[in-house]
Amino acid sequence: MKLYLRPMTQELLRRLEEPPRLLQILMGPRQVGKTTSIEQAAQRLRRKKFAVVSANADALASPPGEWVARHWAKANALAKAGKPTLLTFDELQKIPGWSEIVKKEFDANQRLRPGLRPHVVISGSSALMVERGLTESLAGRFELIRFPHWSFGEQSSAFKLDLNGYIAMGGYPRLREFPHDAERFFGYVRDSIVEPVLSKDILLLHPVDKPVLLRRLFEFACYHPAEIVSLQKMLGQLTDKGNVTTIAHYLDLLAKAFLVVPLQKYSPEILRIRSSSPKLIVMAQALLAAVQGKAPANITKDRALYGRWVENAVGAHLLRSGFDVFYWRERNQEIDFIARRQGVVFAVEVGISDKKRAAPVVRLAEKSGIKRTLIVGPGGVGIDKFLGNDPAAWIS
């Protein structure tokens, strides 16, 4: 099978062709291919006569500071000898105080000409822990490359996954390893992705007084994808009681962990946006499937369920593509999504039947001052085409 390079990997390779300037930080959810991306980049650069120094904190056998310094010194020696050099660190967030150590080494290298210092790439399985290190110590010293969940376009190109397969279980590349065993794949998602994030990543970084409530909130979102639910209603349906402020805080934590994003109602007034009932978007279809235990065939047979999952996939795709995403609703009138990027705002209405009509949605959008409207589904842009491309392609 032809080696597939994600667009983010291609961007990393482009940056590594430039003179070394800033740290390159790979940021994103667990199990989406950050480590694979580093390995692919290293393999390509070796063909261009780069020296590669790879370090994985999982294999630590010496004091942390000494371990980082030793690998950095090895890379520096190769670079100073005139050899273009790549230094990579994986799982670096496992080292206490890793960002301070990296800051010290990086600042020391700034006294050298760019041609005499290595490129440095850092990634980690816990994006939350990496993010904390960046905000604490490394301001002004890095560039981010965001690695989101896999889009339909990527999984279709890389693994020939069809649209229904993506809606039912998409988002993670290891799906290809379980072609005929959905239950086994669901177990992998629950045990290797969801559990480490909920029980380790979030809890290690943020005070969570009610971890059971956090878990129940995630499960609630997976049973109500693309639904607008008031915080009060969520609170009433969750078994471990808290308060509205706690629910809102835990939703923010789930968003930082790349699991669930609570969309707010669209309004030019920021205060109104923040006070609205959220619309819950689960960031990977596989998370829905793993929590609900729904076999792919059962999803496509239930048209109401399938429509809700398609709407969730569209919302997640907009978010992954770098849009600010909202919804709009007044009484019984609703626009599924309002997306904004670089000053361009457009309304998106999602449907799986030909009942969706553009004219009513256009009128509703204009009431909110939005002049561009896009129908995704029959009568508009095909669902497969929308999910397979940058949404900006359809509003130009």
> What whole-number distance in Å separates Cα of residue 190 and Cα of residue 187?
5
Of all residues in the chain, the percent with pLDDT exceeding 90 is 63
320 CB contacts (<8 Å, ≥6 apart)? Answer: 148, 149, 151, 283
- HSE at residue 301, side-chain half, CA atoms within 13 A, is 5
**3-class secondary-structure state, position 258:** coil
Supply the pLDDT for residue 104.
Answer: 94
Supply the pLDDT for residue 356.
Answer: 57
Provide the token pair at 75. Answer: 């890379």
Encode 346-378: b = buried (16+ Cβ within 10 Å), e = exposed: bbbbbbbeeebeeeebbebbeebebeebbbbbe
Provide the token pair at 108. Answer: 């020391």
The predicted model gives 268-289 an average pLDDT of: 80
Provide the token pair at 287. Answer: 């998370």
Of all residues in the chain, the percent with pLDDT exceeding 70 is 93
**3-class secondary-structure state, position 65:** helix
Please, what are the domains in the chain?
7-146 (3.40.50.300), 152-394 (no CATH)
Supply the pLDDT for residue 196.
Answer: 92
- Residue 146, pLDDT > 80, answer yes
| Bridge pairing between strands 333-341 and 85-90 | unpaired
The predicted model gives 170-184 an average pLDDT of: 94
Provide the token pair at 302. Answer: 């239930």
> What whole-number distance in Å separates Cα of residue 34 and Cα of residue 250?
26
14 CB contacts (<8 Å, ≥6 apart)? Answer: none
The predicted model gives 58-62 an average pLDDT of: 64
Would you give the end-to-end CA distance of the chain in angstroms?
Answer: 35
Please give the single-letter amino acid code of residue 260.
V
Please give the single-letter amino acid code of residue 271.
L
- Residue 248, pLDDT > 60, answer yes
Supply the pLDDT for residue 165.
Answer: 96
**146 beta partners:** 27
> What whole-number distance in Å separates Cα of residue 325 and Cα of residue 164?
24
- Residue 56, pLDDT > 50, answer yes
Supply the pLDDT for residue 115.
Answer: 85
* pLDDT tens-place string over residues 179-236: 889 999 999 999 999 999 999 888 877 788 889 999 999 999 999 999 999 888 888 8
- Residue 83, pLDDT > 50, answer yes
Give one DSSP letter per residue of 145-180, joined into a string.
EE--SPPHHHHHHHH---HHHHHHH-S-GGGGG-TT
With beta carbons less than 8 A apart as the criterion, state whether 169 and 291 touch: no
Provide the token pair at 263. Answer: 């969309």
With beta carbons less than 8 A apart as the criterion, state whether 396 and 390 touch: no
With beta carbons less than 8 A apart as the criterion, state whether 56 and 101 touch: no
> What whole-number distance in Å separates Cα of residue 102 and Cα of residue 65?
9
Which tops the pLDDT comparison, 196 or 126?
196
Supply the pLDDT for residue 15.
Answer: 96
| Bridge pairing between strands 333-341 and 279-282 | unpaired
Q: What angle do CA 330, 334, 335 make, to 5 degrees?
A: 130
Q: Which of 178-192, 194-208, 249-263, 311-325 has the lowest mean pLDDT?
A: 194-208
Q: Which of 93-102, 293-302, 347-356, 381-390 has the lowest mean pLDDT?
A: 347-356
Task: Work out the mean pLDDT of the chain and round it to a whole number.
Answer: 89
* pLDDT tens-place string over residues 66-76: 889 999 999 99
Supply the pLDDT for residue 53.
Answer: 97
> What whole-number distance in Å separates Cα of residue 216 and Cα of residue 212?
6
Residue with tokens 């059971």: 212
With beta carbons less than 8 A apart as the criterion, state whether 316 and 339 touch: no
Provide the token pair at 45. Answer: 């650069």
* pLDDT tens-place string over residues 1-53: 468 999 999 999 999 999 999 999 999 999 999 999 999 999 999 999 999 99
Supply the pLDDT for residue 291.
Answer: 97
Supply the pLDDT for residue 152.
Answer: 98
Residue with tokens 């005070």: 207
Rg (CA), the chain: 22
Mark out the alpha helices in the chain (DSSP H runs): 7-16, 34-47, 64-80, 98-109, 127-137, 152-159, 163-169, 182-189, 195-196, 202-205, 211-223, 231-237, 244-256, 270-274, 285-292, 296-301, 303-320, 358-367, 383-387
Supply the pLDDT for residue 358.
Answer: 65
Supply the pLDDT for residue 1.
Answer: 46
Instruction: State phi, psi for 102 to the nearest 5 degrees.
Output: -65, -40
